[in-house]
Amino acid sequence: MTDVMRFLPQGEDDLRRMLETVGVSAVSELFASIPARLRLPSPPDLPPRQSEMELRRTMGSMASRNATPATHAWFLGAGAYNHYVPAAVGQLLLRSEFYTSYTPYQPEISQGTLQAIFEYQSLMASLTELDVSNASLYDGASAAAEGVLLAHRATRKKRVLLADGLHPNYRRVVKTYVQHLGLEIVPIPVGADGRTDLDALARLRDGDTAIVVLQSPNIFGCIEDVKQAVGIARQVGALVQVVVTEALSMGLLHGPGHWGADIAAGEGQSLGCPLQFGGPYLGFMVAREALTRQMPGRLVGATVDVDGRQAYVLTLVTREQHIRREKATSNICTNQGLLALAATIQMCLLGKAGMREVAEQNHSKAVWARDLLAKIEGCRPRFSAPIFNEFVLDMPADASDVSDGLLARGIVGGLPLAVIDETMSRSMLFCVTEMNTREEIEKLAASLQEILA
């Protein structure tokens, strides 16, 4: 067991002394409170343990069975984006003081975490053009769901209008969260140009509408007319939540608050979190100040200590489960703190100029790619609405066959859209980011041409 001992720092003499102090002759006596028939006669059936060297080999071989942007040209987005993360982000996250600490319940020895969250809240408020950001939620979909619950608490109304342009997994998660609370979910269709059908929204809203939820850029990559949507919702007193799954888009596009939305919620993965198969990611929520006391999750506020020094602390805790129990604004406890830190560092590194430049590169490359692919015989962009870094291409073949063909050519293509809508089996959602070179985009076009020929 010598190898196991590296995480178990008690030596033989230590154990003897401890047993003696406790007054037992063997550790097993300490488990006497567990009825004997429930105690396992031998340890559970698990594979043989591995030394660090063996483990590295096993895990390396498992990892090598996965295609990555290091092995393939990458054009898949749909809520999880391949962006560059500067080396400084990864190294700072490995500071033990950050990643091996707990929730900052003791502010005197947690100012590092607390100040970082305060800066995160400030940056997210600026980015979304809203007032109050919480300290993070699990991910984009659960953040969207928490926003719906918030609206229900704040308005006491029961109708929830969910745009079909919302990522399908987000729609699923919202449904799961509200299924036992007596809320009614009403879908808002997408119009021919790829944006939410605002005439339909005007017909569907009513005095019992708690909230209107739309995503921009939406699941088809189209930038929504948030201003108009807000205007329509306001007439019946409904709140508006704008979901953002591609947070980097706000380097170029106005945040939801600019158009009068009440809540911005979504996915911060684009801001410094690796793809890592869908998580851990960063759920964010930023709201108007009037909704502060309805916020789910943790909030960090500025204050002073007894000597008058500026300091930070978890605040407005009476909203939370450990105080309010079943009447809390959410059941969330552990959140995604380390990912919020990653986003804070990434946003600081990017800064004012970098946010803009990387967002413009995404946009330019996506537009160029779209126009290039549109030249392929039988292909055309499905929607006319403006895009950020994703677009839908209609093709003269089944999109999942095209996806297989691309994979065989070393390319992970876009998302075959039959997973969202069966009538879109010949459509693919492509994503182009700053990570895609012109050469890769040209290779994509050539491969697509070959597959469709």
Site for another protein in 325-344 (CB under 8 A): 325-328, 330-339, 341
**Contact characters 18-47, another protein, x per CB under 8 A:** xx-xxxx--xx-xxxxxx--xxx--xxxxx
CA dihedral 339, 344, 345, 350 (to 10 degrees): 120
Determine if 450 is a binding residue for another protein (CB under 8 A).
no
User: What is the rounded distance in angstroms from the CA atom of residue 414 to the CA atom of residue 395?
Assistant: 12
User: What is the rounded distance in angstroms from the CA atom of residue 209 to the CA atom of residue 183?
Assistant: 10
Least separation in angstroms between residue 353's CB and another protein is 5
Determine if 447 is a binding residue for another protein (CB under 8 A).
no
Q: What are phi and psi of 69, to 5 degrees?
A: -65, -10
- DSSP E strands: which ranges in 368-423? 380-381, 390-394, 411-412, 415-416
Strand partners, 267: 283
Least separation in angstroms between residue 203's CB and another protein is 25
- Among residues 317, 262, 314, 320, which one has the least CA distance to residue 291? 262
User: What is the rounded distance in angstroms from the CA atom of residue 104 to the CA atom of residue 115?
Assistant: 10
**Contact characters 386-405, another protein, x per CB under 8 A:** x----------------xx-
Q: What are phi and psi of 79, to 5 degrees?
A: 105, -5
Determine if 10 is a binding residue for another protein (CB under 8 A).
yes
Determine if 158 is a binding residue for another protein (CB under 8 A).
no
Select the residue interacting with another protein from 7, 12, 207, 423 (CB under 8 A): 7
Select the residue interacting with another protein from 152, 157, 159, 167 (CB under 8 A): 167
Determine if 107 is a binding residue for another protein (CB under 8 A).
yes
The interface with another protein within residues 415-444 (CB under 8 A) comprises 415, 434, 437-438, 441
Least separation in angstroms between residue 211's CB and another protein is 17
Instruction: Give the range of 129-137, 196-204, 374-382, 390-398 binding another protein by CB under 8 A.
Output: 129-137
The interface with another protein within residues 189-248 (CB under 8 A) comprises 223, 227
Report whether 267 contacts 280 (CB < 8 A). no
Determine if 446 is a binding residue for another protein (CB under 8 A).
no
Half-sphere exposure of 156 (CA within 13 A, CB side): 0
User: What is the rounded distance in angstroms from the CA atom of residue 392 to the CA atom of residue 69?
Assistant: 21
User: What is the rounded distance in angstroms from the CA atom of residue 135 to the CA atom of residue 270?
Assistant: 17
Select the residue interacting with another protein from 12, 97, 377, 422 (CB under 8 A): 97
Select the residue interacting with another protein from 73, 118, 147, 433 (CB under 8 A): 118
